[in-house]
Amino acid sequence: MVIITNNTNRIDKTWFSYTRSIVLGDSERDYSGNPKHSGGIGVLGEKSLHAVLKLYYEPDPSRHEVPVGDFVADIAGEDGIIEIQTRGLARLKPKLAGLLEIARVTVVHPVIASRRIVNLDGATGEVLSSRMSPKHGTLFSAMREIYSRRDFLPREGLTLRLPLLTAEEFRSFGVRTNRRKKQRRNGKEYLSDVIPSELLGEWIFCEPEDYAALIPEGLPQPFHAGDFAAAARTNEASARMAIQLLARMGLARDAGKSGRRRIWRV
């Protein structure tokens, strides 16, 4: 099943907004009406993006961080396991292989459609600057991550969900900490936290036919990677990975060559 942007029948923007307020400490009550937990940004040592998504997909905290076999699942309940991976999916491979032997698994990998970058003075919290990032995430900007797990696709019991979000990224410069996961810009180290602002929609990939969502409108027949990239408004590397996934799902077939280019048909 594929849910494209703004299908309000299947995504709950109101609940997402409320979830966000709980994690960020803006709400006075938690999901069950009890007084909110303290913690705010980075609650329980997590990054805000991960924490908001975890509560959005499972509002019951007793189902969070559950030991399953040799692993600890982000979420575990009657409907299976949910793993939220905000960065590279490649690092999830050993855990995913183990969990799929035990239960149904849903992997959540957010796509940031747009983000505002806010630079902060780590000592005072003063806003130093604020700007919109020129990068805009799409389904195809996540292609490298999806393709990295192609050996698991398609597989019974595995679902991939890609929520499409807007966000703010707060970068704190000059922070003294023992944390190793610092990033660097212009020679300066900083800590960052991505805070989701709005849920725009979601793509869900479960069955092979769901990957038809990768086929861009206006794609000529037959086509090569350059045609696909132009129609999808992406680069050729992402286009080639998308084509290979479509072929893997039986949605595209090799139609020979034209010169040095491989030709395909949907």
Q: Do 133 and 37 reside in the same domain of the chain?
A: yes
* Residue 18 · residue 25 · CB < 8 Å: no
pLDDT digits (tens, 9 = 90+) for 210-262: 999 999 999 999 999 999 999 999 999 999 999 999 999 999 999 999 888 99
Q: How many structural domains are present in the chain?
A: 2
Q: Do 135 and 233 reside in the same domain of the chain?
A: no
pLDDT digits (tens, 9 = 90+) for 187-220: 567 688 899 999 999 999 999 999 999 999 999 9
The span from the CA of 139 to the CA of 211, in Å, is 11
The span from the CA of 118 to the CA of 121, in Å, is 10
Q: Do 45 and 76 reside in the same domain of the chain?
A: yes
* Residue 53 · residue 84 · CB < 8 Å: yes
Number of alpha carbons in the 13 Å side-chain half-sphere of residue 163: 28
| Structural domain span for residue 79 | 13-214
Q: Do 42 and 167 reside in the same domain of the chain?
A: yes
Q: Do 157 and 259 reside in the same domain of the chain?
A: no
pLDDT digits (tens, 9 = 90+) for 8-35: 345 788 888 888 888 887 644 343 333 3
Helix axes 225-232, 236-248, angle to 10 degrees: 110
Q: Do 180 and 224 reside in the same domain of the chain?
A: no
Q: Say which CATH number the domain at 256 has.
A: 1.10.10
Q: Specify if 82 maps to a domain.
A: yes
Q: Do 129 and 42 reside in the same domain of the chain?
A: yes
Higher-confidence position of 161 and 42? 161
Q: Do 95 and 184 reside in the same domain of the chain?
A: yes
The span from the CA of 21 to the CA of 60, in Å, is 16
Tell me which range, 126-130, 172-176, 200-204, is most confidently predicted by mean pLDDT: 200-204
Q: Do 86 and 103 reside in the same domain of the chain?
A: yes
Pairing mode, if any, of strands 105-108 and 127-132? unpaired
| C-alpha of 90 from chain center | 13
Q: Which amino acid belongs to residue 69?
A: G
**Confidence band for 178, pLDDT divided at 50, 70 and 90:** low
The span from the CA of 147 to the CA of 257, in Å, is 23
Could you tell me the pTM of the whole model?
A: 0.82
Q: Do 184 and 53 reside in the same domain of the chain?
A: yes
Mind spelling out the 3-state secondary structure of the chain? CCCCCCCCCCCCHHHHHHHHHHHCCCCCECCCCCECCCCCCCHHHCCHHHHHHHHHHCCCHHHEEEEECCEEEEEEECCEEEEECCCCCHHHHHHHHHHHCCCCEEEECCEEEEEEEEEEECCCCCEEEEEECCCCCCCHHHHHHHHHCHHHCCCCCEEEEEEEEEEEEEEEECCCCCCCCCEEECCEEEEEEEEEEEEEEEEEECCHHHHHHHCCCCCCCCECHHHHHHHHCCCHHHHHHHHHHHHHCCCCEEEEEECCEEEEEC
Q: Do 127 and 200 reside in the same domain of the chain?
A: yes
With tokens 């725009």, the residue in question is 200
pLDDT at 230: 97
Q: Which amino acid belongs to residue 251?
A: L
pLDDT digits (tens, 9 = 90+) for 62-73: 999 999 989 999
* Residue 149 · residue 96 · CB < 8 Å: yes
Q: Do 90 and 179 reside in the same domain of the chain?
A: yes
Q: Specify if 248 maps to a domain.
A: yes
Q: Which amino acid belongs to residue 30?
A: D
